[in-house]
Each structure stands twice: as C-alpha cells, then as structure tokens.
Amino acid sequence: MKKKGVTLLEMIIVISIIIIITAASVPSFMKFTSTARLRAAARDITTALRSARRYAITTRVARAVKVYLYDYTDDTLQNAVSFYETADSIKTQRAAANIYFTDDTTATYLTFSFSPRGTTDTDTIRVVDPNNRCIDITVQGTTGRVKIGEIQ
C-alpha cells in the first residue's frame, strides 16, 4: 500500500523554487510601480489642463490650472495641481509619492489660463520620478492643445 503525501525534501524544493521566482520578479515589479506612478501624475495634469480648456470653450468663461512645483514654499501644495472649475470652486490634487513637477524656469508654480477660444501661453511641465525618468507635458499657446510625451 502506497502512502499519500509529500516528503520534507519535496516541500523544501517547492518553497525554494517559489522564493527564487519571487526574488527574480521583485525588480521588474518595482519598475512597473514607479512607471505607473509617473504616468498617473502626468495623466492628472493633462486631464486638468484639457478639462480647463474644454470648460473655457463650452462656457465661454476663462478657466485656469495652477501646477505647484517641487520647490513651492507651502509644503502642503508642493507637487500639486489646482483646477479652477468655476470662479468659486477649486479642486486640488497632489501627485503620488516620490513624484515631483518641474520646469525650465525659476518659478515655484505655473498657471495656465485658457481663454474661451481655448488658447493659453505655451509652456512645458516636466513630471519626474526618483530614478530621474520624466515625462514632458507641453501646452501649445495658439491652440491650447495639451501634448503628453513619452517617458525619457
């Protein structure tokens, strides 16, 4: 008669294989998580900018988005995006942990005011992660269109 079950050696081998597979997948999972945070922060900014442009065009009232950069003096607003939905309503959203916003100037924040024609000033925002990978978001002045770049 055969005994059913597994031996201690078989259990150790299976657990060893599981540990090796898990250890091998951790770096790729960490990179995936970092990339997802970077893309989400860039998506939040582009959504706010595109919504402001759309509301300005449809309501014929200027709308604005303010992006507080990483060196903004108020710690509660650093790396945050404010979207002025109406004259009285301001929606502020902070970026994910370890993500920061920057640009090529010495400003501490950027304001994009969209006219009822959808136009604004041309400017670029850079979203950066801890590994110095970044995504550039460009707002074209003549049309107000928002373009999101690839991860660099």
91-106 pLDDT, tens digit per residue, is 777 776 677 777 776 6
Which residues is 92 bridged to in the sheet?
82
For residue 121, is it within any domain? Answer: yes
User: What pLDDT score does 89 carry?
Assistant: 61
For residue 110, is it within any domain? Answer: yes
**How wide is the angle at C-alpha 139 spanned by C-alphas 34 and 42, nearest 5°?**
15
User: What pLDDT score does 133 carry?
Assistant: 87
For residue 61, is it within any domain? Answer: yes
Number of H helices, E strands in the chain: 1, 8
Q: 87-112 burial, b for 16+ CB within 10 Å, e for fewer? A: eeeeeeeebbeebbbbbeeeeebbeb
User: What CATH number should be reported for the domain holding residue 75?
Assistant: 3.55.40.10
For residue 27, is it within any domain? Answer: yes
For residue 116, is it within any domain? Answer: yes
pTM of the model: 0.73
For residue 28, is it within any domain? Answer: yes
Q: How many domains does the chain have?
A: 1
Which residues is 54 bridged to in the sheet?
none
pLDDT tens per residue across span 112-142: 888 888 777 778 888 888 888 888 888 888 8
For residue 138, is it within any domain? Answer: yes
Secondary structure (3-state) at 143: coil
CA terminus-to-terminus distance, the chain:
65
- Domain of 79, in residue numbers: 9-148
**Is the dihedral angle over the CA atoms 59, 62, 67, 73 positive or is it negative?**
negative
- E strands along 44-88, which residues? 63-68, 80-84
For residue 93, is it within any domain? Answer: yes
User: What whole-number distance in Å separates Cα of residue 74 and Cα of residue 30?
Assistant: 30
For the cut 60, the answer to whether the pLDDT of residue 19 exceeds it is: yes
